[in-house]
Amino acid sequence: MAHKQHNSMPTSGMITLLLIAGVLAVGVLIAGIAGISSSSTVTEIKLNQANSARNLAESGVLYAKGLIASYENQGKTIDEAITALNNNGGVVTVGSSGSFIIVATKSGSNIVITSTGNTTSALASHVIPQSYTLTFTEKQSKDALQGTYTGVSATMSGKYYGSLVTSSNNFNEGVTISGSIDYVGSGVNSYGDNCLHIKGSSIGTNGEDTHVCSDTCVIVDGCVNIYSDIYAQGDVIITNGHVYGDIHSGGNVSLTWAGSVNGSIYAHGTFTKPTGYRQPTNGTVKTGTSIPAKCISYPLPAHETVASNKELIINQKYTFYGTTDINSHSLAYSSIKSSGGSKICFDLSTPNTYINIFNSGNMDINGDVYVRTSASTQCFDYANRVSDIYAANYAEAKRVYMDVLGKVTFNGGSNWFGTVYAGGNISPGGGGKYIGAFYTNGSYNPENHGGIESRFVQSDYVLQNW
């Protein structure tokens, strides 16, 4: 199983520190030879010590740059970087040469660094005359956009071939998510705590690079199988389920008789298991390990509001035609509603064409959806009807993008093709089949409809413009 990298050791900072030690050692050696081969004086010694102190202070800045680069690469936050820089009072010893003291403060998305170098003999100290302002770029990964993204809550029921990012969740029994989960919430949920609660049938994909991540704690229940590594800032509790990957916990890990782990367990705190449970895992168990990095996230962009007073009401058949301009904003509406028995067709029969729809109101879909990708068919041929997520032309969903400022509602049995980015809630219908992606800062499936099937396809428009 491929593993998500969550190493907390500031590798770049350590390499920088070793290089610094080597340079300073050479400098001290040269200074010593110079002192032996000439008539050394107290003034010369102090001068050499002052140079060493200045080099140490400058080395502190280099060390800070290396640690910041490492933390950026690991996906850590600016606050975590500042904490690491100020650890141990900011004092870092460099071999026998001396030490430097870093003071790091936060200024927006920047880290302001001051560095003081002190020689071992305490004969000299040097403070960098001006502070250094270093920009910290928190990792924002489009890996967070690999399926369903919700800023408030997600109720998952059915089968999902894609990933989930959410701040609060409810997994119905039998749910299958063949992707990753990133739980970025911290507030009290319906369970009365702030943990990611996992139940259902199956989470993750065996043999693929999927993960379960929580910025809080994780509770595995409901006899679920998890084919992913688990990363949590807090505790991981396996009450009833099976984990076929490793567990990386920033707190404690506990296991009950109904739980098992096939991988290794890495706990920052303690590990507990029932008395007599001799083999809790097929891997190793280590405590006192580093806290893993936080989950990936991605700030959804501002909605593109295209002025329009055209209300689109579809009672029979309606066709959206593709254009060669991937950034076209010509399809703009104040609201969209299709009635029961209506039919919508996305005509993508011309290669390399795109359909972008901008809706400043709500969208309510009740009818069927068709997709034409070949000139040899007619738009509303039965073969073009979206009836499941396994259609031969499923990948063409990358060419359909819809920005809806309001809420989006699919009634029972209504399916969809393409990416939907909503300002309000997204409500899939019971038994709905969806190919593409759903993004919202609101809630997903707040009505708790079941029997949903969803297959992720990355939008070309999102890849280019977000």
Look at residue 69 and tell me if it is in a domain: yes
pLDDT at 401 over 60: yes
Rounded Cα distance, 293 and 31, in Å: 43
Q: Which has more pLDDT, 142 or 393?
A: 393
Helical pair 42-74 and 11-36, crossing angle rounded to 10 deg: 170
**Of the given ranges (52-56, 258-262, 283-287, 382-386), which has the lowest mean pLDDT?**
52-56
Q: What is the mean pLDDT of residues 389-416?
A: 96
* CB neighbour class for 254 (10 Å; exposed up to 12, middle 13-18, buried from 19): buried
Q: Which residues of 155-173 are buried (b: 16+ CB within 10 A; e: fewer)?
A: bbbbbbbbbbbbbbbbbbe
- For residue 254, what pLDDT is reported? 96
On the 0-12 / 13-18 / 19+ scale of CB atoms within 10 A, 5 is exposed
Contact 102, 81 (CB under 8 A): no
User: Based on the domain organization, do 18 and 105 belong to the same domain?
Assistant: yes
Q: Are residues 425 and 457 in the same domain?
A: yes
Confidence bin at 324 (pLDDT 50/70/90) = very high
Q: How confident is the model at residue 46 (pLDDT cuts 50, 70, 90)?
A: low
User: What mean pLDDT is predicted for residues 174-192?
Assistant: 88
Residues 111 and 203 in one domain: no
Give the C-alpha separation, 139 to 236, whole Å.
25
Separation of alpha carbons 393 and 206, rounded Å: 26
Could you tell me if residue 414 is left (phi over 0), alpha (psi between -120 and 50 degrees) or otherwise beta?
beta
Confidence label for 302 from pLDDT (cuts 50, 70 and 90): very high
Residues 36 and 151 in one domain: no
Please state, in angstroms and rounded to a whole number, the distance separating the CA atoms of residues 311 and 132.
55
* Domain match, 32 and 125 both: yes
Instruction: Examine the fold and report which residue of 272, 287, 302 is the final residue of a domain before the chain moves on.
Output: 287
* Statement to judge: residues 104 and 179 lie in one domain: no
Reduced to 3 states (helix: H, G, I; strand: E, B; else coil), residue 133 is strand
d(CA 420, CA 400): 9
Over residues 230-246, the mean pLDDT reads 95
Q: How far apart are CA 10 and CA 122, in angstroms?
A: 28
Which of 229, 254, 287 terminates a domain? The answer is 287
pLDDT given at position 6: 44
Query: Could you tell me if residue 438 is inside a domain?
Result: yes
**For residues 148 and 170, what is the distance between their CA atoms, to the nearest angstrom?**
14
Among residues 135, 153, 174, which one ends one of the domains? 135
CA 116 vs CA 61, 113, 119, 130, 461: distances in Å: 9, 10, 10, 11, 49
pLDDT at 17: 55
Rounded to a whole number of angstroms, the distance between the first and last alpha carbons of the chain is 30
Looking at the domain assignment, is residue 270 inside a domain? Answer: yes
Q: Which two tokens stand for residue 377?
A: 């068919």
Burial class (CB in 10 A: 0-12, 13-18, 19+), 113: buried
d(CA 88, CA 128): 20
E-state strands within 18-146: 91-94, 98-107, 110-119, 125-127, 132-135
pLDDT, tens digit, 9 for 90 and up, residues 104-130: 998 877 899 999 988 887 666 777 777
Per-residue confidence (pLDDT) for residue 20, from 0 to 100? 57
CA-to-CA distance for 74 and 294, rounded, in angstroms? Answer: 9
Q: Does residue 295 belong to any structural domain of this protein?
A: no
Q: What share of the chain has pLDDT > 70, as a percent?
A: 86
- What pLDDT, on the 0 to 100 scale, is given for residue 209? 85
Q: What is the pLDDT of residues 49-103, one digit of tens each?
A: 778 888 888 889 999 999 988 887 666 778 889 999 999 999 999 888 889 999 9
Q: Is 188 or 177 the better-scoring residue by pLDDT?
A: 177
Question: 10-38 as b/e, with b when 16 or more CB fall inside 10 Å?
Answer: bebbeebbeebbeebeebbeebeeeeeee
Domain carrying residue 343:
311-465
Is residue 18 domain-shared with residue 57, that is, in the same domain?
yes
Q: Are residues 34 and 147 in the same domain?
A: no
Q: Is residue 301 part of a domain?
A: no
pLDDT band at residue 269 under the 50/70/90 scheme: very high
Phi, psi of 384 (to 5 degrees): -90, 0
pLDDT value, residue 31: 43
| pLDDT(398) > 70 | yes
Tell me the mean pLDDT in the region 188-213: 87
Does residue 41 register a pLDDT over 80?
no
Mean pLDDT of the chain, nearest integer = 87
Tell me, yes or no, whether 199 and 92 share the same domain. no
| Of 119 and 254, more confident | 254
- 412 C-beta neighbours (distance < 10 Å), count: 12
Domains of the chain: total: 3
Contacts 24+ apart (CB under 8 A), 426-435: 426/150, 428/452, 428/454, 433/386, 433/387, 433/388, 433/389, 434/389, 434/410, 435/386, 435/389, 435/391, 435/394, 435/397
153 plus 278 within the same structural domain: yes
pLDDT tens, residue by residue, 415-447:
999 999 999 999 999 999 999 999 999 999 999
Q: What are phi and psi of 26, to 5 degrees?
A: -65, -40
At 296 the pLDDT is 82
Which residues, other chains included, contact 265 with Cβ-Cβ below 8 Å and sequence gap of 6+? 246, 247, 249, 253, 271, 280, 281, 283, 284, 285, 286
Indicate the pLDDT class of residue 5, thresholds 50, 70 and 90: very low
Same domain as 324, residue 262: no
* Same domain, yes or no: 331 and 272: no
- pLDDT for 28: 45
Residue 346 lies in a domain: yes
Average pLDDT over residues 184-211: 86
Q: Is residue 300 part of a domain?
A: no
- Is residue 264 pLDDT above 50, yes or no? yes
CA distance 55 to 228: 47
Q: Which residues pair with 135 in a beta bridge?
A: 110
pTM for the model stands at 0.72
pLDDT at 451 (0 to 100): 93
